[in-house]
Structure 1
Amino acid sequence: MATHLFKRLSLLFGLLSSIGPWSENHDSVGIFPPTCSRIECPSFDVVHVGNGFEVRRYNSTVWMSTSPIQDISLVDATRTGFLQLFDYIQGKNDYDEKIEMTAPVITQVSPSDGPFCESSFVVSFYVPRVNQADPPPAKGLHSQKWGPVHAAVRQFSGFVTDENVGEEAAALQASLAGTSWSSAVEKGRADPTSVYTVAQYNSPFEFQNRVNEIWMMFDMEDDSAAM
């Protein structure tokens, strides 16, 4: 059973393994995710670069998402969601259609009220452009259609862990504090139940040049209003 799980994870994330060099930069701003030069990613424009963060505007997109996964561990919940999405792109859907891998795979986080309580996680796969108009449905998954949305973004390297993801999210919030973007994020939070989103671009079997991001997503009618 463990061997089968390892093979499935290896196949899933192996699709993300061919990326270009990325410097171990901890300034956490201004680096285009290198995986996106190799496989399809959602398009965005950088509308502001701040101290330790950047603000992006993403175009309308469709994502295939898991049902909420209840778990204490983000890492474990994300792994569970990854496996469901791997089966989906391998043809376990109503159309029996194989779908190209994209990046990033994201986990929307709705934290619990206490340190030993389960949080809620939704893991999502960006549907390729060729499938955006009619994404194959699948049991246990649902499509999310996003309108244009903004995201305050912080990048970090290494592996995502249950410990460092909270630290990085707190660092993003701290870097936003005192800026007009902080107010924009709070007022326009795209999903009131989700505090932040974790975006991962690499295979778990890569040990160097890793790129991860924290997104705080919000709706905003006028980009210039927060500048």
Structure 2
Amino acid sequence: MGVALVLFELCFLVSAFLFRSVAGGGVGVVPAQCERIECPTYDVVGSGEGFEIRRYNSSMWISTQPIDDISLVHAGSVAFYQLFDYIQGKNSNHEKIEMTAPVIIEVKPSDGPFCASSFVVSFFVPKANQPTAPSSETLWLQKWGLTYVAVRQFSGFVKDEDVGVEAAALYASVAGTVWSDAIERSHAGDSASHYIVAQYNSPFEFKNRVNEIWFRFDVEEGAIASVV
């Protein structure tokens, strides 16, 4: 393991320990990271108190296999090495890939208080690399078509005890809105408690941190005109 990776890991863990996430409960902040590196493009098609609805264009992500862990922070740390190796050239094309944002973690919470949840951590593949995106022996490529996402933003360093609270707050915000039926249908059954945590900042940035909770959902073609 290289010295740079060890230092990155130590900074990540110390930062997560020292700084609590501060719930912003807002929307509309454009992360500073997206002014410096590539982020997936989207249109804001709706908003309400504490949330906005985005329509993401087609995008591609390189993802880890599910990681079973009791901690989102620890699972993200484990996944970092896999994704870092990939963008540094440990892939089928042996090519380096530019850093992007956000890194997203899909969360499938456990049923019990002490059971491991499942986490899939993904890195956005730059548009220039998407047509010939390299594969990996341990990671997998996933292509998103047109995707609708309900979003809630919060600041600070992500902590395990905060993300569930933020996800519940997003769920409460969209309840009863014109989007709630579509979100409920998409999150029925096994996916009822699934959500995504999007993180834009490096562990070295202590100010102006932007994180998001996402609910991905589908909008039926005939219903788009009535809600968009």
Task: Tell me the TM-score normalised to structure 1 length.
Answer: 0.88
Structure 1 residue 224 and structure 2 residue 225: aligned? Answer: yes
SS of the aligned residue for 2:156 comes to coil
**Deviation larger for 45-54 or 184-193:** 184-193
Could you tell me which of 157, 160, 165 is aligned with 1:159? Answer: 157
C-alpha displacement at 1:6, in angstroms?
2.7
What is the distance in 2 between the residues matched to 1:87 and 1:33?
25
Give CA deviations for 1:79-134 in whole Å, capped at 9, x if unaligned: 11122101100011111100000000000011111110011100000000011112
* Alignment partner, residue 197 of structure 1: 196
- Seen in structure 2, the aligned counterparts of structure 1 residues 37 and 2 have a Cα distance that, compared at 3 Å, is closer
Give CA deviations for 1:52-87 in whole Å, capped at 9, x if unaligned: 000000011110000000001011111111221011
What is the distance in 1 between the residues matched to 2:164 and 2:129?
33
SS of the aligned residue for 1:57 comes to strand
* Alignment partner, residue 51 of structure 2: 53
* Alignment partner, residue 18 of structure 2: none
Identity %: 60
C-alpha displacement at 1:2, in angstroms?
9.8
Structure-to-structure mapping, 1:4-15, within 5 angstroms: 5-9=5-9
* Alignment partner, residue 38 of structure 2: 40
Task: Tell me the TM-score normalised to structure 2 length.
Answer: 0.87
What is the distance in 1 between the residues matched to 2:9 and 2:136?
20
Q: Which runs of 5+ in 2 are unaligned?
A: 13-21
What is the distance in 2 between the residues matched to 1:10 and 1:38?
25
* Alignment partner, residue 144 of structure 1: 142
What amino acid does structure 2 have at the position aligned with 1:226?
A: V
Q: Which runs of 5+ in 1 are unaligned?
A: 13-23
* Alignment partner, residue 69 of structure 1: 67
Contact kept? 1:190, 1:218, Cα under 8 Å: no
Q: CA RMSD in A?
A: 2.4
* Alignment partner, residue 19 of structure 2: none
Could you tell me which of 117, 122, 129 is aligned with 2:127? Answer: 129
- Total equivalences in the alignment: 216
- Seen in structure 2, the aligned counterparts of structure 1 residues 88 and 49 have a Cα distance that, compared at 3 Å, is same
C-alpha displacement at 1:9, in angstroms?
4.3
Contact kept? 2:11, 2:204, Cα under 8 Å: no
